[in-house]
Every structure is written in structure tokens, then in C-alpha cells.
Amino acid sequence: MEKLQKLGLPILVGGLILFIFLAKTFVNIGYGEAGVLFKTFGNGVVTDEPPLGEGLNIVMPWNKVYIYNVKQQEVFESKMQVLSSNGLDISLDISVLYQPKIAELGLLHQTKGSNYLNVVIIPSLRAVARSVVGQYTPEQLYSTKRDAIQNEIYEQLVSDVESQHVQINSVLVRDVTLPANIKAAIERKLTQEQEALEYVFRLEKARQEAEKLRIDAEGKANANRILNSSLTSNILKDKGIEATLKLSESPNTKTVIIGSGSDGLPIILGNQ
């Protein structure tokens, strides 16, 4: 009994050590995550092998695993202050969709660390936004150039961070805020331009209507000239005779006096 008691303590200690060893040997990585392996007795961060994938991974207990979220994530920069081409203060709301490059996760951990968002993406975004917006006037930023600005920021940001093991999926310029007096002046100008365009449209429409009336009048005048030149006295007499013959065949009571009208045309007296 005394022997069992003496053996019990070492067994308990050995079991505890084994449990701790096994607990550190198995590392579970969740969905949308990947692990960077650090070999304590090796070369440190493993950069020449793929990162550890989702699920249960066996790792020697003296090594470490740094887990990263590799899903697409969003960072929102609100009221970012930039200057327009003429030095006016502009406020931007910008979102960036990003994620680490999985195949380069070891290099990202080694060179930038888990705080890469604040080390790489946000500083680059601010610098690029200031550079791009500084090429445009407030009026362009407010009206016609927002899509162009968004595309330029995206392209330059991708170029800046692609060598730093980060992937930029999209840049969204959600709002451009101008000083109130500048915004009011731009809106007045746009309203005046719209009114001027409407006035030009009305003038053009009136001109087209006048041109149409002129063409119609010329057409009628030409038709009348052609008709007058073709209606000789003989043709009129012939038409009158044709009309007299048709009327004479009508069952209505009438009196036809042949040759008593002007130019020898018949006079027709009806029962009315």
C-alpha cells in the first residue's frame, strides 16, 4: 500500500506532463484562418512552406503557431482630411476590402506582423488618397469625377501594397464632403448650367418648329402654283361637264340649264 502511494505521485506528475505535452502538440485552426509556424529550435518563422490550414494540426510543443484571419475584411476610414488641387479642405469616407495573401502569410508575419492593417494598409491608403484627390478641383470631386477618383485610389493602393504580402480587393469612396460655402456655390452653378441647357433646348425646339412650318408653307405654295398653272379654261369646262352628267343621273329633283353659267358652264337649280 505504501509502495502504491509512493508510485502514485510520480504517475500523477507524469500524467500531467503528458497532458500538457499533448495539449500543446495539437493546434486547432478555425474556419477562415491559417497558422504561421515558428520553430523555436529551427530558423524561426517558416516562410518556405504553406501555412497551417483549418482543422487540427500536430505541432511540437516547443514551437509556436500564430493564427491569422485570412477572410476578406473591411476597414472604414471616416472623415479623412485631404486637400483639393486649389488647397481647399475635403473630407472623404472610404472603405477598403482587403485580406492577407495566404501563400505569403509567413513573410507577412515575419516582416509586418499581425498589426499589418495599421502598419501597411491605412498609412498607404491615406497617402494615396491625398495624392489622388490633390489632382482635382472641388467641383470635379462633387460631380463628375468620383468614380475616376475611386478607381485611381484602388489602382495606386494595389501598386503600393502588393509587394507587402497584402491583397486589396476593392476601394469604395462612400462620401465626399466639401466646405458648406463651396458646396452651395457649386450647386448654384450646376443649377444655372442646367437652366441654360434647358433654354438652349427650348430655342432649338422653337427653331425646328418654325422650320417645319416654313417647309409646310413652301410645299403648299408650290402645290398651288402647279395647280394654277395646270387648270386651263378648257380643263375647267371639261370638269364642269363631267360634274353635270353625274348630277343629271341623281334621283333628286333638279333643273339643269345647259350653257347658261359663266364660261358656258351649266347652272343647276335644285328642289331646295
User: Which pLDDT score, from 0 to 100, does residue 191 have?
Assistant: 58
Superfamily in which the 73-178 domain is placed by CATH: Band 7 domain (3.30.479.30)
Q: What is the DSSP letter of 252?
A: S
User: Which pLDDT score, from 0 to 100, does residue 18 have?
Assistant: 46
User: Which pLDDT score, from 0 to 100, does residue 108 have?
Assistant: 96
pLDDT band per the 50, 70, 90 thresholds, residue 68: very high
Highest mean pLDDT among 11-15, 61-65, 139-143, 169-173 belongs to 169-173
The CA distance from 153 to 130, in Å, is: 9
Greater confidence (35 vs 140) lies with: 35
pLDDT tens per residue, range 215-231: 878 777 777 677 666 65
Nine cell digits for residue 21: 505535452
- Residues present in the chain in total: 272
Closest CA to 218 of 229, 206, 230, 210: 210
Cβ neighbour number for residue 200 with a 10 Å cutoff? 10
Please determine, for residue 268, whether its predicted confidence score (pLDDT) is greater than 60. Answer: no
C-alpha torsion sign, points 239, 243, 246, 249:
negative
Residue entry with cell 486637400? 83
Mean pLDDT over all residues of the chain? 77
Greater confidence (218 vs 201) lies with: 218
Q: Convert 63-122 into a string of H (helix), E (strand) and C (coil).
A: CEEEEEECCCEEEEEEEEEEECCCCCEEEEEEEEEEEECHHHHHHHHHHCCCCHHHHHHH
| CA angle (15, 20, 21) in 5-degree steps | 95
Lowest-confidence range among 2-16, 42-56, 137-151?
2-16
User: What is each CA distance from 129 to 45, 80, 151, 155, in whole angstroms?
Assistant: 34, 9, 11, 11
Please determine, for residue 125, whether its predicted confidence score (pLDDT) is greater than 50. Answer: yes
Mean per-residue pLDDT, 239-267? 59
- The structural domains of the chain, with segments of one domain joined by +, span 2-69, 73-178, 184-230, 243-270
The CA distance from 156 to 134, in Å, is: 14
Residue entry with cell 483639393? 84
Please determine, for residue 60, whether its predicted confidence score (pLDDT) is greater than 70. Answer: yes
Please determine, for residue 100, whether its predicted confidence score (pLDDT) is greater than 90. Answer: yes
pLDDT tens per residue, range 137-175: 877 777 667 788 889 999 999 999 989 999 999 999 888
Work out whether strand 254-257 and strand 166-177 pair parallel, antiparallel, or are unpaired: unpaired
The CA distance from 46 to 236, in Å, is: 112
Please determine, for residue 117, whether its predicted confidence score (pLDDT) is greater than 50. Answer: yes
